[in-house]
């Protein structure tokens, strides 16, 4: 059982990149904070961690070798983007069809990379994390998504899920998504 839990946590880190202790607790039913800390302490051989309000974990060389992962992650400001994206993954009950960094394009017309994408009842859900980018970049993204919709890339209109940092940014995103099915969350919705 212990080995199975270790493998399971390592696979989550492989799939999702950086995870907070709380996210690991939820994903793997680790119970209280004490137990989760104990379990993660036992994984020190396979994971690296740092503190940013709470402990953030990611696979180290031994962890990558144990589960056959080639992707090397280093601590950078990008970790917040991963953590926010993982909040959405957990909030939507860990969709089986979840894929990260998905390129969508119509050759010669439009191309965009979604932060994440999953389907639910045959409908695409497009996840975008607005952590530190300029609102003008978000405007361009939404123009590209509208172009994809005009090109009939989706059978059903997709649902957009945005996750941003402030109420002010949420309002700006609501304006950009006018006329589209969209959920916009802020950090306070999850923490």
Contacts of 186 (CB under 8 A, 6+ apart): 163, 164, 165, 166, 167, 169, 170
Asked, for residue 36, whether it belongs to a domain, the answer is yes
- Entry pTM: 0.93
- Counting the structural domains of the chain, the total is 2
The chain-wide mean pLDDT, for the chain, equals 94
Q: Is residue 89 part of a domain?
A: no
One domain for residues 106 and 172 = yes
CA proximity to 109, closest of 138, 142, 150, 137? 150
- Is 159 inside any structural domain? yes
Per the structure, the complete domain to which residue 153 belongs is given by 99-189
The pLDDT, as a whole number, for residue 10 is: 96
pLDDT at 76: 79
Q: Using DSSP, state whether 57 is helix, strand or coil.
A: strand
Looking at the fold, whether 103 and 68 belong to one and the same domain comes out as no
Please, how many CA atoms are within 13 Å of residue 119, restricted to the half-sphere of its CB? Answer: 7
| pLDDT for residue 73 | 86
Angstrom distance (rounded) from CA 95 to CA 121: 11
60 and 113 together in one domain: no
Buried b / exposed e across 43-59, counting CB within 10 Å, b at 16+?
Answer: beebbbbeeeeebbbbb
129 domain residue, yes or no: yes
For residue 80, being part of any structural domain is answered with no
User: Quick one: 109 and 183 in the same domain?
Assistant: yes
Query: For residue range 130-178, what is the model confidence (pLDDT) as tens digits?
Result: 988 899 999 999 999 999 999 999 999 999 999 999 999 999 999 999 9
Residue 65 maps to a domain: yes
Q: Split the chain (191 residues) into runs of 10 and give each run's mean pLDDT.
A: 88 96 95 91 94 94 93 86 97 97 94 97 96 92 96 95 96 96 94 76
Residue 1 is predicted with a pLDDT of 56
Closest C-alpha to 161, from 54, 13, 190: 190
Same domain for 58 and 107, yes or no, is no
Q: Are residues 168 and 127 both part of a single domain? A: yes
Same domain, 116 and 168: yes
User: Does residue 81 fall inside a structural domain?
Assistant: no
Asked if residue 93 belongs to a domain, the reply is: no
Answer yes or no: are the C-beta atoms of 21 and 36 closer than 8 Å: yes
- DSSP codes of every residue in 89-136: HHHTT--TT-EEEEEEEETTTEEEEEEEEEEETTEEEEEEE-SS--HH
């Amino acid at each position: 059982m212990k080995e199975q839990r270790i493998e399971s946590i390592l696979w989550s880190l492989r799939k999702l990149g950086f995870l907070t202790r709380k996210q690991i607790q939820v994903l793997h039913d680790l119970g209280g904070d004490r137990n989760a800390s104990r379990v993660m302490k036992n994984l020190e051989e396979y994971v690296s961690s740092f503190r940013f309000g709470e402990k953030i974990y990611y696979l180290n060389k031994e962890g990558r070798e144990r589960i056959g992962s080639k992707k090397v992650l280093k601590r950078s400001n990008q970790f917040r983007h991963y953590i926010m994206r993982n909040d959405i993954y957990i909030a939507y009950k860990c969709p089986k069809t979840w894929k990260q960094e998905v390129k969508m394009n119509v050759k010669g017309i439009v191309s965009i990379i979604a932060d994440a994408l999953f389907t639910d009842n045959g409908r695409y859900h497009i996840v975008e994390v607005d952590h530190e980018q300029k609102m003008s970049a978000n405007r361009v993204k939404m123009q590209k998504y509208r172009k994809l919709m005009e090109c009939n890339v989706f059978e059903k209109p997709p649902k957009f899920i945005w996750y941003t940092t402030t109420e002010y940014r949420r309002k700006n995103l609501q304006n950009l998504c006018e006329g589209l099915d969209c959920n916009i969350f802020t950090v306070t919705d999850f923490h």
